[in-house]
Every structure is written in structure tokens, then in C-alpha cells.
């Protein structure tokens, strides 16, 4: 069961609808009691880093999610700010993130961006996955995804970078550490490319 974590951020219904079209079992969790059938988790998010952490901590689900991911090894996919809060910290805020993947969330340096409007990085962009990345199976060539962000995840180790994109600089737009995955773009808004990626996640 794909369990989509609803802590008040992100279009959780879009993920649920997409999996329904794929005939893949999915449910939305709003409390710690909604994870009994979970086999994989999706952690969506939009907006600011600190706000996301405040809502997640207040949701009553943080302890359950930590246990499932860190102790039981359940696969999780963070999306947009849901990916950024996988980091220990962000230049955007003061609160600690989940700290599941080492690195820091950084703001794009506008000096490297040649064309206005500069930030946020908004719209479709090419994504280049690492060879053999199962999350991107079938998306190795000419895949494009929809982005909306001003900050990016700067991994401490290149081993955790699963895919890259370019916006003034090359940046990691997908990350992984064991059972923990994150994507900066919005697969639920990325048409067939996003459908394939979410199907791949369900099949990991």
C-alpha cells in the first residue's frame, strides 16, 4: 500500500488519483493510526522548509514515520519540500530537518542565472539520472519534469545524488540513501514522465 502522508502540505489527492488510475493501492494518512497497511511512503510538500517541519512535527505522525523509515527500512519518496526536509538543515530556515540524508538545502545564487525571471526556478526542465537508477527506469533519455523552487539539496556526498538538472548550475534534483528517495520536481504535475516515475517507485 502506497501511503501518502498528509501533514497539511502538498497536493496529496493528486498522488492518490494518479495511483488509482494506475490501479495501484494507495491511501492518505492523516494520523499515526493510518500506517498499518503501509508498504511505501510518499512525503509531499510545498512552501517553506521551517513551515513544513512545524506542520510535520505537529501532525502526530513524525515518530511513526521515523520508525517505519529508519528502523523498518520502508521506502519513502520525498517530493519538493518533502525532499528538502530530508536534509539536516536549510539556508531558508532555522529549524532542523529530518536529517535522513546528509547535506544542506541551499538557495540558488542569482548571479549564476542569466535570464529573468530568475527565481523561483519554475517550469519544465531536463533531468539526467544516474545510470542504473531504478527510480528512473524508462526515463534515461529525454525525460523532463516540472519544477517550482528557489532552493536545492546540496548533498554532502555525490553518492547520494540520483539525478541532476541545470539552472545556472548543475544541481542534484533527485537523491537517495538506501530506502530513502527524494525528488525536487513535481512528478504529479509532470504528465507521462511523472506517471512512470511514480509507477517505478511503487515497483521498487
Which of the residues 54, 186, 191, 203 is marked catalytic? 186
DSSP category for residue 90: B
Give me the long-range contacts of 23-32 (CB less than 8 A, separation at least 24). 24/199, 24/202, 25/1, 26/1, 26/2, 27/1, 27/2, 27/3, 28/3, 28/4, 29/3, 29/4, 29/5, 29/61, 30/6, 30/59, 31/59, 31/60, 31/61, 32/60, 32/61, 32/63, 32/64
In the residue annotation, 188 being an active-site residue is answered as: yes
Catalytic residue, candidates 91, 188, 191, 203 = 188
Altogether, the residues listed in the chain come to a count of 204
Q: For residue 108, give the C-alpha cell.
A: 540558488
How many beta carbons lie within 10 A of that of residue 170, not counting itself?
Answer: 11
Nearest to 117 by CA among 153, 148, 145, 80: 148
Rounded-to-integer distance, Cα 52 and Cα 44, Å: 10
Task: Enumerate the H helices of the chain as residue ranges.
Answer: 12-21, 49-58, 62-66, 81-84, 191-203
Q: Is 91 assigned a catalytic role?
A: no
The active-site residue, picked from 63, 80, 121, 155, is: 80
Catalytic residue IDs: 80, 186, 188
Amino acid at each position: 500500500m502506497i501511503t501518502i502522508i498528509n501533514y497539511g502540505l502538498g497536493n496529496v489527492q493528486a498522488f492518490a488519483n494518479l495511483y488509482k488510475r494506475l490501479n495501484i493501492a494507495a491511501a492518505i494518512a492523516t494520523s499515526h493510526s493510518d500506517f498499518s497497511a503501509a508498504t511505501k511512503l510518499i512525503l509531499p510538500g510545498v512552501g517553506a522548509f521551517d513551515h513544513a517541519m512545524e506542520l510535520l512535527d505537529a501532525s502526530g505522525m513524525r515518530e511513526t514515520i521515523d520508525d517505519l523509515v529508519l528502523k523498518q527500512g520502508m521506502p519513502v519518496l520525498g517530493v519538493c519540500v518533502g525532499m528538502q526536509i530530508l536534509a539536516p538543515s536549510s539556508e531558508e530556515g532555522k529549524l532542523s530537518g529530518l536529517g535522513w540524508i546528509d547535506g544542506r538545502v541551499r538557495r540558488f545564487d542569482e548571479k549564476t542565472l542569466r535570464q529573468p525571471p530568475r527565481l523561483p526556478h519554475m517550469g519544465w526542465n531536463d533531468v539526467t539520472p544516474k545510470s542504473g537508477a531504478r527510480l528512473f527506469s524508462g526515463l534515461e533519455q529525454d525525460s523532463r519534469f516540472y519544477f517550482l523552487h528557489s532552493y536545492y539539496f546540496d548533498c554532502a556526498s555525490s553518492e547520494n545524488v540520483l539525478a541532476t538538472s541545470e539552472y545556472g548550475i548543475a544541481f542534484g534534483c533527485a537523491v537517495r540513501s538506501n530506502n530513502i528517495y527524494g525528488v525536487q520536481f513535481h512528478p504529479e504535475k509532470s504528465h507521462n514522465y511523472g506517471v512512470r516515475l511514480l509507477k517505478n517507485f511503487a515497483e521498487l
